[in-house]
Structure 1
């Protein structure tokens, strides 16, 4: 078994590190299971307000751990269990997390790395980062739910280029296509990403959770009308009152 997903809590921020540095943080089956455990746990916490996801050693994630593939890829049930159980288990736990998630993307962001980054709300990348899903070179397609996720975040044209050409795209291209929010010097990526996470921890946590829930529902095809039954239940909440009172008295809010 190789690699781990580490969790460190610092104040109101959670730092999640993909750690398999000898393989540029390629995801093993164990790491997918740990990713699910980490984000399922974070969803239940009330002391954490934002999450940073990064890779160890100057790379985000180079894809899946191909050394494991011969153990399960050559029969349909084992392959289905891997993608629908392990991989989608980890990705869906990230997608279901109501905490804001920032991706710190350095170096390789391939295949599984693109999928994990697609689960994040804000993506900060270095100029030297590279993005793609060249699995056509390995003789298999992207699993349907993973492809749906990637198409939604990178766009259909970019997904076609990644999957059909095995194209590897640079960070400025991915910024221009709307996948990234920020591209900065490689050396500045950790500080830039952490700064954004810390800024999020100072904002209203209830509002962040409600925004993520609404955005998740709307992106899945629900109508705004379907959300109206509970949309204004926060009216008398302490957080709402504090935010308005702080603005009127010209002081920073204390959430």
Structure 2
């Protein structure tokens, strides 16, 4: 049963900002000093807020963006070390929340626009690509360097990248972890629009207003149809993906990557 939208409280969430205006809800990842890397609180918020968005009768369109210079740098190294030290905490929080982020974003009927104001990496790239329309500032880069952290691209990257740019290109970028420029991301069809940073707000606002003023049920039903194959694919792959990521969380290579990042050096992987 759908809740009364007046009972929805966005202020319950930490490390994100939420603003609602003229049927458009803007969610801002709000850890700018850490390039909006995912804290535990932010990860939890992103796993839960989509149910509220879906039930909010005052919202027709969502804009997802980052505070400061980055969209999101992805994983938070401090949180990574905690998950290594406490695997039970990983099992109890990270795995179910990661599944919820992917499924709830794909299940949300309302169009989501990613306003990629700066670099989007790892989980940051994944949540951008789970959005329906991606508008990227021309100075930003995007990529999924999970393998460089001793992790598989299991949080949705291996799901979304091949569907957007094909298996050949997706394999190369996910297996190397390389970032690409906004221009390259647009050229290969990974993102919809690339604009100068000064024009980002105008382009995103224009798209949001157009969608908010459209035939909302038709737009939502069209999104349901488009996303159905993605949802089916997610259901068939995410359990295995997160099982493999759980195994990777216990490897020496992942611990080495976390140590190397903290020590500001290049990791030395052994395959263990």
Q: Please give the TM-score of this superposition, normalised by the length of structure 2.
A: 0.74
1:33-72 equivalent positions in 2, closer than 5 A: 33-72=44-83
Q: 2:154 aligns with which of 134, 143, 156?
A: 143
Aligned to 1:180: 191
Q: In the TM superposition, what is the alpha-carbon distance from 1:220 to its structure 2 partner?
A: 4.3
Confirm or deny: 8 A CA contact 1:114 1:150 kept in the other structure. Answer: no
Aligned to 1:116: 127
Question: Match of 2:26, SS?
Answer: strand
Q: 1:164 aligns with which of 175, 178, 182?
A: 175
Structure 1 unaligned regions, length at least 5: 223-255
1:125/1:145 CA distance change after superposition, 3 Å: closer
Aligned to 2:17: 6
Distance in 1 between residues matched to 2:202 and 2:51, nearest whole Å:
26
Higher helix share: 2
Structure 2 unaligned regions, length at least 5: 1-13, 234-272
Q: In the TM superposition, what is the alpha-carbon distance from 1:136 to its structure 2 partner?
A: 2.2
The superposition leaves residues 47-98 of structure 1 with CA deviations (integer Å, 9 ceiling, x where unpaired) of 2111111100132111111111111136765444454212222232211110
Aligned to 2:204: 193
Confirm or deny: 8 A CA contact 1:83 1:143 kept in the other structure. Answer: no
Confirm or deny: 8 A CA contact 2:158 2:174 kept in the other structure. Answer: no
Aligned to 2:42: 31
The superposition leaves residues 227-249 of structure 1 with CA deviations (integer Å, 9 ceiling, x where unpaired) of xxxxxxxxxxxxxxxxxxxxxxx
Confirm or deny: 8 A CA contact 2:48 2:100 kept in the other structure. Answer: no
Q: In the TM superposition, what is the alpha-carbon distance from 1:144 to its structure 2 partner?
A: 6.5
Confirm or deny: 8 A CA contact 1:123 1:182 kept in the other structure. Answer: yes
Question: Match of 1:124, SS?
Answer: strand
Aligned to 2:26: 15
Confirm or deny: 8 A CA contact 2:106 2:230 kept in the other structure. Answer: no
Aligned to 1:227: none
Q: In the TM superposition, what is the alpha-carbon distance from 1:105 to its structure 2 partner?
A: 0.6
Pair member with larger Rg:
1
Distance in 2 between residues matched to 1:50 and 1:151, nearest whole Å:
26
When the two structures are aligned, how many residues end up with a matched partner?
Answer: 220
Question: Match of 2:110, SS?
Answer: coil
Distance in 1 between residues matched to 2:68 and 2:138, nearest whole Å:
16
Distance in 1 between residues matched to 2:190 and 2:148, nearest whole Å:
24
Aligned pair 1:99/2:110, yes or no?
Answer: yes
The superposition leaves residues 22-51 of structure 1 with CA deviations (integer Å, 9 ceiling, x where unpaired) of 111111121121112221101012221111
Aligned to 2:97: 86
Moved more, 148-157 or 86-95: 148-157
Distance in 2 between residues matched to 1:42 and 1:158, nearest whole Å:
33
The superposition leaves residues 117-157 of structure 1 with CA deviations (integer Å, 9 ceiling, x where unpaired) of 11111110111110111222222212265422333234323
Distance in 2 between residues matched to 1:77 and 1:143, nearest whole Å:
19
